[in-house]
Amino acid sequence: MTTPLQPPPKKDPQIPTRPPQLPPIPRSRAALAMSAAAAKGQFALQTCRDCGAVCYPPRDGCPKCLSTRLRFQPVAAGGELIAETTVQASTDLYFRERLPWRVGTVTLDCGPSVMAHVHADLTTPSRVTMAMKLDKGGNAVLFALPEKVTDHMEDDPQYRELNASPKHRRVLVTDGRSGVGQAVVQALLDAGAATVFVGIADPWKPFAGAADLGGDPRIEVMTLDVTDTTSVKELAGEIGGKTDILVNTADHVRPGGILSRSDIVTSRDEFEVNVFGLQRLAQAFGPLMRARGADGANSAVAFVDILPIHALSNWHAFGAHSASAAARHSVLQCLRGEMRAGGVRVLSVFTGPVDDDWRQTVEPPKLAPTAIAKAVVAALQGGIEDYYVGDIAKDVLEKWLDNPKVLEREQQA
């Protein structure tokens, strides 16, 4: 059985931080499509549209009928572990620093036999549940997990390399004034976070929930205003070197589109928080986190942002806010490429309308802050790059993938 992960000892400042290394990165375009499925937490393999064969590894032609009409689609995740070995030596620096490493052969219920990373709690032969994960280089890998949940299975070192679990890690939540921010703080503590730093702008102003933030010794309230470069840099100087996960909950939202506003003041405020605030956080904390991407079992692992699904397609009732969300989405895509060099994941949690003061006129369904908080933890624990919360977010995504222009017309209705 997996040995429970223990809280890390205080770091010796005389021991240098291990520089980040990445697994082998080059992949074909077909393999990158599999990574796109893994980014959404799907177990999807190529399926031939002509003969129905399930194919692995990714390729350009079906091995049975030679058709080029292959597409990735979800398949059954069950299988049988028929052989395994433990690698004790490797020429690759990333794996050499993490040996021993278990790998094995799994016969999938959907057809092919695959090489996969193997969880420590598995024996041979045994039934397994397959998961498709993103490694630190951003590529999809297959991981064989026990069919039934085992004690402390999330603490397996190999499995922990493929997710961003908050257990025993130190997390910064950037806005503790909002209901979403406070719910995220509690969810992270429930998931085992060692310390949660909570950013509060203008701490002298009273706000609902302040007493709860001060009642837990694992919570440290910090002054943070994402619209103030000096405030962000000062906090990064204080805790940036020990922040393992950053969760950006800051969001400035107001109803209205472009023509419904007589000036750009409100829109400027939205961009100042939602776009430039995100950029300030990335510039101040990103280099420090990227440098600690291989700092032991509790290395820096994830930069998380919560943003509306209308980043994909503008919703004119909140048109200016949607525009800032689109820019925010683009910033995250840029940041994802830059942070990957350190093995730090950039996770986007897309939400439908939130049940808050500024969206009271929006018809249900709306998301409770606790639902978003659970999604943040699930994205971290699963290492899922794009996580969609609620029926509206999933519906918008599905329609956007099908036909973005039709969705645009529907959003304008």
Under the banding of pLDDT at 50, 70 and 90, the label for residue 211 is confident
Would the pLDDT of 291 be above 90? yes
pLDDT over 90 at 412, yes or no? no
Least confident range of 174-183, 204-213, 269-278: 204-213
Residue 308, preceding peptide bond in cis (omega within 30° of 0): no
pLDDT tens, residue by residue, 112-145: 999 999 999 999 999 999 999 999 999 999 999 9
The predicted pLDDT at position 296 comes to: 80
CA 263, 268, 269, 271 torsion: positive or negative?
Answer: positive
86 neighbors 102 (Cβ within 8 angstroms): yes
The mean pLDDT of 256-279, rounded to a whole number, is 95
Rounded to whole angstroms, how far apart are CA atoms 54 and 162?
25
Find the mean pLDDT for residues 196-224. Answer: 92
Q: Where are the alpha helices (DSSP H) in 133-209?
A: 157-161, 179-190
Alpha helices in 12-74 (DSSP H): 29-39
Q: Does 13 score more than 80 pLDDT?
A: no
What is the radius of gyration, based on Cα positions, of the chain? 22
Read off the pLDDT of each residue in 62-82 and give the average, rounded to a whole number: 96
The residue-averaged pLDDT of 272-298 equals 95
Is residue 85 pLDDT above 80, yes or no?
Answer: yes
pLDDT of amino acid 3: 86
How far from chain centre, in Å, is Cα 232? Answer: 22
* Average pLDDT value for the chain: 95
User: Looking at residue 354, what DSSP letter applies?
Assistant: B
| CATH 3.90.25.10, domain 170-411, yes or no | no
User: pLDDT band at residue 229, thresholds of 50, 70 and 90?
Assistant: very high
Chain region(s) in the chain for CATH 3.40.50.720: 170-411
pLDDT of residue 373: 98
Please give the Cα distance from 375 to 348 (Å, whole number): 11
When pLDDT is cut at 50, 70 and 90, the band that residue 413 belongs to is confident
Name the DSSP class of 274.
I
pLDDT band at 8 (very low <50, low <70, confident <90, very high): confident
